[in-house]
Amino acid sequence: MESSNLSIFFFCCIFLISSGLIVEAQDSPHHHHRREKEETDDNGFRPAKLFVFGDSYADTGNVRKSLANSWKEPYGTTFPGKPAGRFSDGRVLTDYIAKFLGLKSPVAYRWMKLFGGKKLRNGVNFAYGGSGVFDTLANVLPNMTTQIDFLEKLINESVYTTLDLHSSVVLLSLAGNDYGAYLATGGTIQGLPSFIPLVINQLSINLKRLQKMGATKVIVTALEPLGCLPRFTGLSSYQQCNATRNLATNFHNLLLQQTVAKLNNDTNSSTFFILDLYNSFNTVLEQKGNPQGDLKFETPLKPCCMGISSEYFCGSVDEKGVKMYTVCSDPKSAFFWDSSHPTEAGWHAVYTTLKSSLGQLFQFS
Ligand SMILES: *[C@@H]1O[C@H](CO)[C@@H](O)[C@H](O)[C@H]1NC(C)=O
Ligand SMILES: *[C@@H]1O[C@H](CO)[C@@H](O)[C@H](O)[C@H]1NC(C)=O
Ligand SMILES: *[C@@H]1O[C@H](CO)[C@@H](O)[C@H](O)[C@H]1NC(C)=O
Ligand SMILES: *[C@@H]1O[C@H](CO)[C@@H](O)[C@H](O)[C@H]1NC(C)=O
Ligand SMILES: *[C@@H]1O[C@H](CO)[C@@H](O)[C@H](O)[C@H]1NC(C)=O
């Protein structure tokens, strides 16, 4: 029941493997150095670390294996080559943001504890797939407040200092699990206009708290076009996005924009920056690829991996271990990996549309 609930309502993920950690730390040092030169030399601000909060768009292995499909085949087949807790066939948003900053993808909090505090140089990823600003699965998935508590605890223990935060970038991903949980527990679409402001208000509390803790650069994601996720486009055979859901998305993003503008103004700073996943997803979906043209998605709304019928999901197996899902032959040609998450190629395409605005962010420091 948990498992299908998660799959239906949350962008989920999880795991328990030891290999996942190592992969991140070894992610090609040469490549990394070249990147650093190429992409961060002009920046006015050179981030020392990346701290990440949020959900499955950012999680690189925090959720427990028993809770989600991200630790099952065929997740992780492109990178790191086996399931390791990312909700994709490969790299996710965090990995691309880290790359942009010239950092290695920060270690997942879960593994940091396991390794007794090593590998902290690049920061820590506290994101848990399926979580929201409010409780989605209480006592199982830490909400964003609790995730920030984890960092505060590390600061209290002098693992990090306020100064570290001062010279770092914070990434917050909020992809809609609060709305999934709201609708799954009796909330209605009609009720969303009064629930959305509560989510934004809680997000705003979290943003202010991070700034108080010392953060000077906080990237927060706008909601992706929810109505375009495969879970909501299956009825149209993946032909068109659901306009009703995109309308709710637009309202969330409008309030987010106003809130962030006010926070920046009130603190006379440019601490907070919106990463516009709404427009970047839409651009890639409409153009069936990225503007540079090197990534192409012929049927962009159709996921690469899906259950053979509605009771199954990407990664589902029956009691005998028989696969109850299908995978496309080339994940590089699909934008969506499963019912809610982009493929690595999808994230790469989204990232290429966001690069120039990220560049601006760091020039205005
Ligand atoms: C977050 O989780 C904690 C611990 O379960 C809970 O006490 C708190 O009320 C939650 N915060 C929000 C904003 O839901
Ligand atoms: C960190 O320390 C402060 C001050 O002692 C305390 O109020 C706060 O609860 C601590 N936070 C955590 C998460 O332990
Ligand atoms: C779009 O989503 C709304 C809200 O869930 C639903 O009522 C409607 O039937 C959906 N429309 C289509 C065409 O799937
Ligand atoms: C911007 O901040 C100033 C104080 O720094 C305040 O007086 C003003 O009302 C704010 N403007 C808006 C639009 O919030
Ligand atoms: C806000 O920042 C600007 C530019 O740094 C400065 O000129 C101005 O005095 C500041 N205003 C307030 C109210 O701190």
Query: In percent, how much of the chain has pLDDT > 90?
Result: 79
88 is catalytic: no
Set 55, 338, 340, 348: catalytic member: 338
Judge if the beta carbon of residue 231 lies within 6 A of ligand 3: no
Segment holding 306, helix H or strand E: strand 305-307
**For range 224-242, the mean pLDDT:** 96
What is the per-residue pLDDT for 114? 76
Which residues' Cβ are closer than 6 Å to ligand 4? 262, 265-266, 268
CA–CA separation, 99 and 177 (whole Å): 26
**For range 281-301, the mean pLDDT:** 97
Ligand nearest to the CA of 264: 4
Mutating to test ligand 2, I would choose from 152, 159, 161, 212 the residue with most ligand atoms within 8 A of its C-beta, which is 152
CA–CA separation, 217 and 361 (whole Å): 9
Question: Domain 3-297+344-356 adopts which CATH fold?
Answer: Rossmann fold (3.40.50)
What is the per-residue pLDDT for 233? 97
338 is catalytic: yes
Angle value at C-alpha 52, between 252 and 232, nearest 5 degrees: 40
Ligand 4 centroid distance, CA of 265 (Å): 6
Task: Looking at the CA of residue 149, tell me the nearest atom of ligand 2.
Answer: 13
Judge if the beta carbon of residue 235 lies within 6 A of ligand 3: yes
Nearest Cα neighbor of 65 from 75, 55, 50, 57 is 75
Nearest Cα neighbor of 113 from 164, 154, 156 is 154
What is the per-residue pLDDT for 46? 75
For atom 2 of ligand 2, the residue with the nearest CA is 156
pLDDT tens-digit profile of 32-45? Answer: 333 333 344 344 56
What is the per-residue pLDDT for 117? 61
Per the CB < 8 A criterion, the answer to whether 239 and 301 are in contact is yes
4 alpha carbon, distance to own chain's centre: 21
Task: Looking at the CA of residue 143, tell me the nearest atom of ligand 1.
Answer: 1
pLDDT tens-digit profile of 235-281? Answer: 999 999 999 999 999 999 999 999 999 999 999 999 999 999 999 99
Burial class of residue 226 (count of CB atoms within 10 Å of its CB; 0-12, 13-18, 19+): buried
Segment holding 50, helix H or strand E: strand 50-53
Task: Looking at the CA of residue 262, tell me the nearest atom of ligand 4.
Answer: 14
pLDDT tens-digit profile of 184-203? Answer: 999 999 999 999 999 999 99
Domains of the chain by residue range: 3-297+344-356
Per the CB < 8 A criterion, the answer to whether 172 and 131 are in contact is no
